[in-house]
Amino acid sequence: MQIDTATPPISVDGTSTSTTSAAQWLSVIAVAVSAFAFVTAEFLPVGLLPQIAHDLGVSTGVAGLMVTTPGVLAAISAPTLIVSAGRMDRRYVFLLLTAMLLIANLVCAAAPNLAVMLAGRALLGAALGGFWTLATAAAPRLVQSKDAARATATILTGVTLATVVGVPLGTFIASFASWRFAFAATAGLVALALLAQLLLVPSLPSASALRLADFKALLGRSHTRLSMLMVALVFGAHFSTYTYIAPLLEHDFAMSTITLLLFGFGLIGFFSNALTSMVISDHLKKSVAAMILLLLGAMSSMLLLEHSPIGETAGMLLWGIAFGALPLCFSVWIQRGTTDLPEAGSAMFVSVIQVAIAAGSAVGGTIVDRAGVHADFTLGLGLALLGLATLQRLAAAERASKAPALQCACDPSVD
Domain end point (choices 175, 190, 208): 208
CATH number at residue 176: 1.20.1250.20
Question: CB neighbours of 99 closer than 8 A, spacing ≥ 6?
Answer: 194
Measured CA to CA, the distance from residue 373 to residue 245 in angstroms comes to: 8
Residue 414 has a pLDDT of 42
pTM of the model: 0.74
Tell me, yes or no, whether 169 and 251 share the same domain: no
What pLDDT, on a 0 to 100 scale, did the predictor assign at position 13? 38
Q: Are residues 178 and 233 in the same domain?
A: no
Return d(Cα 249, Cα 254) in angstroms, integer.
9
Question: Which pLDDT score is estimated for 265?
Answer: 84
Q: Check whether residue 318 and residue 202 sit in a common domain.
A: no
Residues in the chain predicted with pLDDT less than 50, given as ranges, are 1-16, 406, 412-415
**Number of neighbours of residue 410 by Cβ within 10 angstroms:** 8
- Same-domain pairing of 195 and 218: no
Q: What does R_g of the chain's alpha carbons equal in angstroms?
A: 22
Task: Select from 192, 208, 224 the last residue of a domain.
Answer: 208
Specify whether 94 is located in the same domain as 217: no
Q: Is residue 264 part of a domain?
A: yes
Has residue 10 been placed in a domain? no
Report the pLDDT value the prediction gives residue 329, as an integer from 0 to 100.
92
Say whether 348 sits in a helix, a strand or coil: helix
What spatial distance separates the first Cα and last Cα of the chain, rounded to whole Å?
58
What pLDDT was estimated at residue 184?
94
Residue 415 maps to a domain: no
Instruction: State which of 183, 208, 233 marks the end of a domain.
Output: 208
Domain span at residue 277 reads 211-406
Task: Determine phi and psi for 6, rounding to 5 degrees.
Answer: -70, 150
Same domain, 54 and 192: yes
Please give the tally of structural domains in the chain.
2
Residue 158 within a domain: yes
Q: What is the pLDDT of residue 411?
A: 54
Between helices 342-371 and 65-84, what is the axis angle to 10°?
160
- Domain for residue 308, yes or no? yes
Q: How far apart are CA 65 and CA 69, in angstroms?
A: 6
* Same-domain pairing of 191 and 121: yes
Tell whether 93 and 156 lie within a shared domain. yes
**Taking Cα atoms as reference points, which of 264, 388, 263, 272 lies closest to residue 324?**
272
State the Cα–Cα distance between residues 8 and 17, nearest whole angstrom: 7
pLDDT of 40 reads 87
